[in-house]
Amino acid sequence: MNKRLSKWGLLVLVGLLCLALAAFPACTSTPSGEEQEEEEEELPAILLGATFSLSSPIGQEQQNAAELAVDEINADGGLLGRDVELIVYDDGADATVAAAAVTKLCTQDDVDVIIGGMSSVTSLGAVSALKTYQKVTVWLGGASHLFEEAMVGCDWFFHVHPWDYMQSAQQYVALTTVAADNDFSIQRVFVAYEDSAFGAGSWAILQPALEAAGHTVTGQSFTSAYLGGTGDFGSLINAAVTFDPDYFAVVGYDADIAPLLNTMKEQAFNPPFILGAPPSWPVGFGSNPLSEAVCGFTMWTPALKDVSSAAEAFYDAYVAEYGEEPPDYIGALTYDNVMIVADAIQRAGTLDKAALITALEATDYDSAVGDDDVIFAASNNITHQASFTVKLFQWQDGIAQIIYPYEVATADLIYPHPAWPS
């Protein structure tokens, strides 16, 4: 009897013990840390798609700056708990190639946001693809008003670079102010302009605007070396010599600047005020003796690091990463392009298209080009244009010194243009 009771009691006890042990997590099989990592689903990266002209110094600078921004974002934890990945295709400075690149970004890669772009030619080429897929786009390139007009009604489209007419208006204020304050004339103006959408579009705005303001204006076109030109400026400079301007301006690409100045020197043409307006200056242009006292308009130079903490931070990070100064403003503006998108994604808390558009509309950004409180507002034709401004600078002893606006000036103007170096 006792044995029988003991046997059943033992069975009950064992059963109760098993039930009790089953209630504790220690009784279950716990995977190792490595196994847990494998079981956790990794979130996909947020994809930013861009087209740059990678065979040009401008495109290389854009790629460097964009990668720098993405690396900083990921080092800071990414966005929405996800890494950010940059996908770049070379547009070859060709409209057809640019269109194919945007199509590939939207279809094959299915990027979340499109950024980048550079020339007006490639930007115009990308219009059809951008409109077909209607991704949220924060586009840097394309200053031509023709590109702006092509993007009318696209509420998903945000533009970073100032339009040609915006630049012209800001430049005119800078020039007339500095001329008045330094007591010199810019009455007679000669404009050498490249014959694609960028230069010809700028000329189409500049000529009537300057004439309406009472200036005597003439110009001559050329085909940029960036777009297959020969770099022969002999006849153009002959025309400028005959006109005898107070102010000589060139609206072309970086590849045009040094050959043009060299022709001016060879033909002993030395107007009192010389200004270049390329999207990006030649790499190392300040070391060229012909650069001295040549003026230009830009949104950023290394000199701005002394007056803007955001410009200084970008400058220091770029130098640390690539061992050289950013060659021109386009790097800082491309960095801003990425950071503006990242800021909006983080504030939106989602990649939902409508929410992201709303977040971009609320942008208030301290930029690497030294502009505080950058916002998007309506321009002549589109709803979302960034409020970046241009600055007048002058090459002095190899440094692009800011002349105007005066609140960020780093040097006084050299006038008139000195004799060409022997």
State whether 69 and 152 are in the same domain: yes
State whether 187 and 279 are in the same domain: yes
Pairwise CA distance, residues 363 & 20, whole Å: 58
State whether 130 and 277 are in the same domain: no
> Residues 157-209: pLDDT tens digits?
999 999 988 988 898 999 999 999 999 999 999 999 999 988 998 899 889 99
- pLDDT at residue 226 in the model: 84
- pLDDT at residue 24 in the model: 36
Q: 177: domain range? A: 166-298+391-408
The reply to whether 208 falls in a domain is yes
**Average pLDDT of the residues in 221-231:** 91
**Average pLDDT of the residues in 122-137:** 98
Statement: residue 70 has pLDDT above 90: yes
What H or E segment, with its residue span, contains residue 168?
helix 164-181
- Round the average pLDDT of the chain to a whole number and report it: 90
The pTM (predicted TM-score) of the whole model is 0.79
The reply to whether 109 falls in a domain is yes
The reply to whether 9 falls in a domain is no
What separation in angstroms does the CA of 302 have from each of 344, 362, 365, 410? 27, 29, 20, 11
Total domain count for the chain?
Answer: 2
Statement: residue 152 has pLDDT above 80: yes
Torsion of CA 73, 74, 79, 80, to 10 degrees: -150
State whether 170 and 273 are in the same domain: yes
State whether 398 and 252 are in the same domain: yes
State whether 179 and 321 are in the same domain: no
Give percent above pLDDT 70 in the chain.
90
State the CATH number of the domain containing residue 270: 3.40.50.2300
**Average pLDDT of the residues in 343-352:** 98
- pLDDT at residue 34 in the model: 52
Residue pair 244/270 in contact (Cβ under 8 Å)? The answer is: no
pLDDT band at 210 (very low <50, low <70, confident <90, very high): very high
- pLDDT at residue 13 in the model: 38
> Residues 239-291: pLDDT tens digits?
999 999 999 999 999 899 999 999 999 999 999 999 998 877 888 899 999 99
The reply to whether 71 falls in a domain is yes
Give percent above pLDDT 90 in the chain.
78
Residue pair 46/80 in contact (Cβ under 8 Å)? The answer is: yes
> 3-class DSSP state for residue 231?
coil
Which bin fits 294, alpha (ψ -120 to 50), beta or left (φ > 0)? beta
**Average pLDDT of the residues in 369-388:** 96
DSSP state of 111: -
Report the half-sphere exposure of 387 (CA within 13 A, side-chain side). 14
- pLDDT at residue 80 in the model: 97
**Average pLDDT of the residues in 90-110:** 97
State whether 124 and 225 are in the same domain: no
The reply to whether 151 falls in a domain is yes
State whether 182 and 285 are in the same domain: yes
Which bin fits 116, alpha (ψ -120 to 50), beta or left (φ > 0)? left
Please, which residues have CB within 8 angstroms of residue 85's CB and are 6 or more apart in sequence? 45, 46, 47, 48, 70
DSSP state of 421: P
- pLDDT at residue 17 in the model: 34
Which one-letter amino acid corresponds to residue 196?
S
State whether 95 and 157 are in the same domain: yes
Residue pair 165/206 in contact (Cβ under 8 Å)? The answer is: no
> 3-class DSSP state for residue 401?
strand
Pairwise CA distance, residues 78 & 243, whole Å: 57
The neighbouring-strand residues paired with 82 are: 79
State whether 376 and 396 are in the same domain: no
pLDDT band at 42 (very low <50, low <70, confident <90, very high): confident
Please, which residues have CB within 8 angstroms of residue 391's CB and are 6 or more apart in sequence? 174, 297, 298, 299, 300, 301, 370, 402, 403, 404, 405, 408
Statement: residue 1 has pLDDT above 70: no
Cα–Cα nearest to 211, from 192, 193, 194, 189 = 189
For residues 224 and 8, the model is more confident at: 224
Statement: residue 376 has pLDDT above 60: yes
**Average pLDDT of the residues in 371-386:** 96
* Angle, CA 394 vertex, CA 391 and CA 398 arms, to 5°: 125
State whether 98 and 131 are in the same domain: yes
pLDDT band at 124 (very low <50, low <70, confident <90, very high): very high
Phi/psi of residue 206, nearest 5 degrees: -65, -50
**Average pLDDT of the residues in 66-74:** 98
- pLDDT at residue 33 in the model: 53
State whether 344 and 401 are in the same domain: no
